[in-house]
């Protein structure tokens, strides 16, 4: 007759359990940074691809019009709103229906209620995956908003105005067309023929980080005549609303629209303002060059070198650091 046998199972001791938990925690600590780096690499690749698509659209527009779109299209020199360069690219980015929905003939232009759907539509091609797009457009620490209108959709990419973007003075006073030595400025009509520094050595479009200041693809929106850095940013400064769609690498000319201490203008500088280039990537900022190539510029780039890359006709050739 078989006797019942009781099989005893030995359990983990407390020390063994703690060792097992420690090993698992160590593996997670080792793997987590690698996973985060892989995710950021994927987001950075997505950002570069967005810029490549924008580059193809810019050249499609240039093929059709022999010039690149105006940095900001406006009718009078004293307008504080207008249509941004990116809004003209929509037909070349498979966004023809959205482009056709825009009504440029209404009295208030971009801020007219008839264009609210147009300006508030978010487009992935204008959004860097590394940047946060939670929340509406933020005009900054000193900005306000129209109670009956929505702010435009947030974007990540701004056109290069070169070292400066300023009002042009003609024989009868201010003219609606601005002046700048970059590819984009007010009512600019820059073509490949005007990029004498070389299309592969001239920046067309770069990034703007939401942690510093917001930008949009639609166009400048009158926010008390200025756009400002964020409340949480360590450096408070305000600039012309044109820099909602433009960026510059310096301010050599007197600019009464600038409020605050002088900014630093290299990408991701510690004192970046609402008019500069910046990114959510730790050590680099991505740029689209006029020839359609996309490259990453390190934040350690020198100011003189960066100035040379943003100007189109200063005869100051330089390579990216």
CB 283 within 8 A of CB 298: yes
179/310: higher pLDDT:
310
The answer, yes or no, to whether residue 148 has pLDDT greater than 80, is: no
3-class state of residue 201 by DSSP: helix
CB 122 within 8 A of CB 273: no
Tell me the per-residue pLDDT of 151-210, one tens digit each, with 9 for 90 and over: 788 999 999 999 877 666 555 555 666 778 899 998 899 999 999 999 999 999 999 999
* pLDDT number for residue 320: 46
* Angstrom distance (rounded) from CA 186 to CA 170: 15
Query: CB within 8 A of 104, min separation 6: which ones?
Result: 83
Mean per-residue pLDDT over the chain, rounded? 82
126/116: higher pLDDT:
126
Mean pLDDT of 80-104: 90
**Predicted model pTM:** 0.83
* Angstrom distance (rounded) from CA 246 to CA 239: 11
Closest CA to 57 of 99, 93, 21: 93
Tokens of 278: 């910046």
Percent pLDDT > 90 in the chain is: 38
Tell me the per-residue pLDDT of 62-81, one tens digit each, with 9 for 90 and over: 999 999 999 998 876 556 67
> Which residue has 């109670």 as its token pair?
147
Tell me the per-residue pLDDT of 3-61, one tens digit each, with 9 for 90 and over: 555 565 566 677 777 777 888 887 777 766 666 566 777 888 899 999 999 999 999 99
The answer, yes or no, to whether residue 101 has pLDDT greater than 60, is: yes
**42-56, 75-89, 126-140, 248-262: range with lowest mean pLDDT:** 248-262
* pLDDT number for residue 36: 58
Report DSSP letters for 63-113, one per residue: HHHSSPPPSEE-SSTT-S--EEGGGGGGGGGT-HHHHHT--TTSTTGGGSG
Phi and psi of 14, rounded to 5°? -60, -40
Label residue 93 by pLDDT band (50, 70, 90).
very high
């Amino acid at each position: 007759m078989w006797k019942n046998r009781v099989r005893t199972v030995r359990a983990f001791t407390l020390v063994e359990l703690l060792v097992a938990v420690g090993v698992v925690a160590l593996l997670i600590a080792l793997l987590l940074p690698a996973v985060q780096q892989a995710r950021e690499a994927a987001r950075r690749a997505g950002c570069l691809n967005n810029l490549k698509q924008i580059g193809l659209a810019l050249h499609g527009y240039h093929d059709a019009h022999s010039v690149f779109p105006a940095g900001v299209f406006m009718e009078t020199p004293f307008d504080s709103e207008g249509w941004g360069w990116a809004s003209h690219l929509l037909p070349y980015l498979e966004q023809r229906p959205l482009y056709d929905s825009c009504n440029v003939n209404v009295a208030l232009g971009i801020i007219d209620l008839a264009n609210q759907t147009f300006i508030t539509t978010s487009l992935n091609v204008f959004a860097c995956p590394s940047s946060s797009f939670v929340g509406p457009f933020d005009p900054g620490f000193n900005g306000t908003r129209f109670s009956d209108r929505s702010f435009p959709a947030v974007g990540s990419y701004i056109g290069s105005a070169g070292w400066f973007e300023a009002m042009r003075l003609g024989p009868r006073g201010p003219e609606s067309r601005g002046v700048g030595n970059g590819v984009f400025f007010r009512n600019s009509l820059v073509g490949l023929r005007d990029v004498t520094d070389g299309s592969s050595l001239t920046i067309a479009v770069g990034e703007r980080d939401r942690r510093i200041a917001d930008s949009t693809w639609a166009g400048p929106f009158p926010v008390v005549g200025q756009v400002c850095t964020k409340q949480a940013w360590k450096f408070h400064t305000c600039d012309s609303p044109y820099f909602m769609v433009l960026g510059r690498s310096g301010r050599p000319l007197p600019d009464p629209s600038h409020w605050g201490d002088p900014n630093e203008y290299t990408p991701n500088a510690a004192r970046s303002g609402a008019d500069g280039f910046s990114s959510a990537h730790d050590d680099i900022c991505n740029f689209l060059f006029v020839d359609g190539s996309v490259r990453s510029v390190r934040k350690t780039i020198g100011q003189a070198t960066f100035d040379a890359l943003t100007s189109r006709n200063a005869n100051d050739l330089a390579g990216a650091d």
